[in-house]
Amino acid sequence: MRVDAGRTKTNFYGTLNLSSGQEVVMRADKMNAMTSAGYLEQILQTYPDGRILLLWDRAPWHHGAAIRRVLEANPRLELVIFPVAAPELNPQEHVWKATRRAISHNHTESKLPGLAERFEQHLKTTRFESSFLDRYGYNAIRPMFN
């Protein structure tokens, strides 16, 4: 997200809970394996009970020793990696698009901190609908596992 003519930027990690529509979000100065590992820890804290299946894209910062350590220490967290160049499969991409449309397109913020705060608050307070579970038949078979 760029605002002013300088090189100032901020990054966001985000994960959409496909059942509730709730977003888990973290703002970060850098996107690297260490920061990604910290974000995985945040997801584990947000959902302390039960197994977590995390659908992840192939971003370079989603790989490395720090990620492997978190996964080894938390067997209830499992990753499924999306195919190469398939953002249309990733429900999180729809969240980014909707939030950019709502907050950062035609914005009036002249400074990045204010815009980043509005962006983060929108992610945290909005329920995002996704047809992902219906599209792949999960909701049809879910009652069999309750």
Please tell me the pTM assigned to this model.
Answer: 0.87
The CA-atom distances, in angstroms, between 67 and each of 38, 71, 131, 134 are 9, 6, 29, 30
Give the C-alpha separation, 104 to 81, whole Å: 29
Tens-place pLDDT, residues 65-116: 999 999 999 999 999 999 888 888 899 999 999 999 999 887 777 788 888 9
Tens-place pLDDT, residues 58-79: 999 999 999 999 999 999 999 9
- For the chain, which domains are there? 11-145 (3.30.420.10)
Q: Are 19 and 133 in contact (CB under 8 A)?
A: yes
Tokens representing 13 are 């990690």
Tens-place pLDDT, residues 33-57: 999 999 999 999 999 999 999 999 9
> Mean per-residue pLDDT for 8-32?
94
Q: Which H or E run includes 42?
A: helix 33-46
